[in-house]
Structure 1
């Protein structure tokens, strides 16, 4: 089986726990992860002012095909929702049947770009009223609907990452990674 790939699209204000936890979990499962900032910066400043080094400029990888595109939440969701390049990447990956994932306020980004309409999802409570009319909204901590994976917020970031592993690589790999981080299976 070819090695799986995931693109994390970030912007200033991304929630670091929702970025770092799933990136770490996917890398433990040997998924090749690329972190790219919408501003094409070498570093992204997170919600709590941490500087995280990016792996690539979003403009340089916008035409690459990844197995998953992941959007962390945080105040950055407003920037990502208004960025045309983000919409183009999401739309291309949705058309190709690839995994689209969003956590916390990031389902708002999917809503603004017209992605996954009618599917089941969840989000951080503050964006629920904006998006619930276009989706089958759930209050579950993490929701998987086919190739769409969504989660509620920072406290669910590990579960979100493990759900991504399961969707990309199967339950056996998810359990292996979960046991390795002492996450209850």
Structure 2
């Protein structure tokens, strides 16, 4: 890299389907942006604000069909209805298949590992998920212990209460443990 070239910050794509779990969207986006990651939120269809699982409306940056460029990670939030929409999207399936084939990072939280199962990607990997979908997800993968499970290029987590740990694990992977620690400290997380 030449001295006059700008440093390229990591890029993250956060998919935001209708019915997504809003905590899992907003906390991940916030933590990654605090850590200097360029996060693009993309809705699956339309351009209107997305209504999340608890009625919070989020205004995505763009539509999924309009995304451009490469991303260092694709993040799938949970939320029952949101995950149904992730599963129903052939475009999401194609994106996940391409990323798996190239060994690129994917992160899924809560019920979102069901989308991995549905699209037949990351089979037999160690993962975690929300207890309400665990039996279905574990037909596809191996059960991992802990709030966050990392298996190569796959990061998974259990649900809303583990979202900070999930986001910090993604940040550590993209920017390093030092930056993740610097972001975590002022958040005043218990424990």
Q: Judge same fold: TM > 0.5, yes or no.
A: yes
Q: Tell me, which stretches of 5 or more residues in structure 1 are unaligned?
A: none
TM-score, L = length of structure 2: 0.91
Matched, 1:38 2:47: no
Matched, 1:66 2:86: no
Aligned counterparts of 2:105 and 2:46: Cα–Cα separation in 1: 23
State the 4+ residue runs in structure 1 displaced beyond 4 angstroms: none
* SS of equivalent to 2:50: strand
Query: Number of matched residues?
Result: 184
Q: Deviations over 1:100-130 (max 9, x none)?
A: 0000000001111112111110000111111
Higher-Rg member (1/2) = 2
* CA RMSD between the two structures: 1.4
Aligned counterparts of 2:168 and 2:117: Cα–Cα separation in 1: 24
Counterpart for residue 129 of structure 1: 135
How far 1:42 moved relative to its partner?
Answer: 3.0
Q: Deviations over 1:155-183 (max 9, x none)?
A: 00111000000111111111111113123
Matched, 1:143 2:149: yes
Counterpart for residue 168 of structure 2: 162
Aligned counterparts of 2:121 and 2:69: Cα–Cα separation in 1: 19
Q: Tell me, which stretches of 5 or more residues in structure 2 are unaligned?
A: 1-6
Matched, 1:14 2:16: no
